Amino acid sequence: MNLPVTPALFTPSWHAELELGYARVNDTTRPVLRRHLGPLRVQKHLYAEGPEVCQHIIVHPPGGIAGGDRLDISAHVGTGAWAQLTSPGAAKWYRAGGPAFQHVELTVEAGATLEWLPQETIVFSAAQAELTTRVELQGDARLLYWDVVALGRPASGERFDLGHFQSHLDIRRDGQLLWHERQRIVGADGLLDSPIGLDGQPVFATLLVTGEIDAELLEQCRSLPRAVRGDLTQLPGLLVARCLASEALLARGWLIDLWRLLRPALFGREAVAPRIWST
């Protein structure tokens, strides 16, 4: 099918890289590495919860990802450090005549904690988004990871009728696979409306957190008021939460509510929402 000619199909492509490193120095998590190439940046590090937790906001100034773009992000959290990474707004993958790529490598050493908490990913119809994420955990490293994906722009009457969204996610602990997931959703695919797929819901979200919770807390999580269709599954060493929603805001709200319950139970610290989420 020939696509209408639009400026988004012919914008120059970007290759951007961001490399981050964190270390525990006395009682403080310090950013010890910050290297970037192209339009990926982090804002000044913050200590909203005190010196133990270092928060960084990853910024992509062009505001969206178009065909031919490639984003490479890596973060290394050293022994005993605690890093929290988020974003200032939705990542937008625009309609394009070719694929765009995001590759994320996360390494968390023994005794360290990483929270990967980006805001939602919006995949426009006719976008060709290909994402790969690899997480390496060492020893008793802790991870809380989420993603929220919105296909099309329902509020503007745009369904995900063209293009594709592809995502690969692997999480390993000491080389042993904890989580292995492959997704590929093609525009106008029957799974978008099928009851064994997205069942007509344009937004899907996942939260993964290392550790195990008791039956009482699991029931608390399941009893949260919600405007999404979601549930949780306790696997050995990994808790999985998933949902379908009509809007990204609803899905992200459910994940935040879960985070507020799970963080103190599994990580021993109350959840403090980054201010950027309220702007």
What would the pLDDT profile of 48-68 be if each residue is shown by its tens digit? 999 999 999 999 978 799 999
Query: What pLDDT digit, counting tens, does each position of 206-258 carry?
Result: 999 999 999 999 999 999 998 999 999 999 999 999 999 999 999 999 999 99
pLDDT at 250: 98
Arithmetic mean of pLDDT over the chain: 94
The DSSP secondary-structure symbol of 278 reads G
**7/166: higher pLDDT:** 166
Query: What pLDDT digit, counting tens, does each position of 83-108 carry?
Result: 999 999 999 999 999 999 999 999 99
Torsion of CA 183, 147, 15, 73, to 10 degrees: -110
How far apart, in Å, do the first and last CA atoms of the chain sit? 40
Instruction: Check: CB of residue 65 under 8 Å from CB of residue 71.
Output: yes
Q: Summarize the confidence of residues 147-170 as an average pLDDT.
A: 95
pLDDT at 128: 98
SS3 call for 275: helix
The DSSP secondary-structure symbol of 120 reads -
**Residue 131: which of 208, 70, 67, 206 has the closest Cα?**
70
pLDDT at 11: 56
SS3 call for 77: strand
Token duo for residue 188: 């106008």
Element (H, E) at 172: strand 164-173
| β strands within 2-63, DSSP E | 15-25, 28-37, 41-42, 54-59
pLDDT at 54: 99
Give residues with Cβ within 8 angstroms of 165, minimum separation 6: 93, 123, 127, 129, 149, 151, 183, 184, 185
Alpha-carbon distance values, 89 to 46, 165, 242 (Å): 17, 19, 21
pLDDT at 2: 36
Determine what percent of the chain is predicted with pLDDT higher than 70: 96
pLDDT at 8: 45
